[in-house]
């Protein structure tokens, strides 16, 4: 249900209508800098998946303390933090909730029927491969690209180039086999 409109059309102008890309870029950049100052960490998304995987494997009895991955960087926290104590997890949940609220406020949230189970399988396989690739690369398009480029890191530009090339190849494969 859309929010009540005011006399000046604030809802229509700033909530319902799509913002220009440059406004979104400035807002995201502002929040990235704010997050850096507030927490000492840059914005990342896929880091939480490493923790989630570690917690899952520990819960089913797999001894992950012997894995090199969980002795690297900040990942030893998987042994001391719980799900709602982990900053990366809270950031991911906040982004999901924020996106949901935004879609509701703009009147864009829809539950749709599945058109093709082939597309569902492809989306699940593609999402799994993207998540796995993000963890192997130690970052996704947010942490390894946007935050890295903003920090003037060469690694961010290399990541961006190969992400672009991967998107071109992936798009052509989708068109050839799924469209």
What does the domain layout of the chain look like in residue ranges? 1-111, 114-179
If one compares 16 and 56, the residue with the highest pLDDT of the two is 56
pLDDT on residue 47? 83
Task: State pLDDT tens for residues 137-165.
Answer: 777 877 788 778 877 789 889 988 998 99
Q: Is residue 77 within 8 Å of residue 86, measured between CB atoms? A: yes
Q: What is the mean pLDDT of residues 31-52?
A: 83
Backbone angles phi, psi at 98, to 5 degrees: -60, -40
Instruction: Name the percent of the chain lying above pLDDT 70.
Output: 95
pLDDT on residue 8? 62
Query: Using the 8-state DSSP alphabet, how is residue 40 labeled?
Result: S
* pTM for the full predicted model: 0.71
- Whether 93 shows a pLDDT value over 90: the answer reads yes
User: CA 68, CA 40: separation in Å to the nearest integer?
Assistant: 25
- Whether 109 shows a pLDDT value over 80: the answer reads yes
The closest of 7, 21, 81 to 51, measured between CA atoms, is 81
Q: Is residue 89 within 8 Å of residue 52, measured between CB atoms? A: yes
Query: What are the CB-based long-range contacts (under 8 Å, 24+) for 124-129?
Result: 126/170
């Amino acid at each position: 249900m859309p929010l009540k409109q005011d006399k000046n059309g604030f809802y229509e102008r700033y909530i319902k209508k799509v913002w220009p890309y440059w406004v979104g870029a400035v807002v995201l950049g502002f929040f990235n800098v704010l997050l850096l100052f507030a927490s000492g960490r840059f914005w990342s998304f896929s880091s939480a998946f490493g923790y989630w995987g570690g917690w899952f494997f520990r819960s089913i009895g797999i001894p992950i303390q012997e894995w090199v991955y969980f002795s690297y960087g900040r990942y030893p926290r998987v042994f001391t933090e719980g799900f709602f104590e982990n900053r990366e997890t809270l950031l991911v949940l906040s982004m999901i909730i924020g996106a949901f609220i935004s879609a509701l406020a703009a009147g864009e949230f829809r539950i749709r029927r599945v058109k093709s189970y082939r597309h569902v399988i492809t989306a699940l396989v593609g999402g799994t491969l993207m998540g796995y690739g993000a963890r192997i690369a130690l970052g996704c398009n947010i942490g390894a690209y946007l935050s890295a480029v903003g920090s003037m890191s060469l690694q961010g530009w290399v990541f961006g180039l190969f992400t672009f090339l991967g998107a071109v190849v992936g798009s052509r494969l989708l068109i050839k086999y799924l469209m």
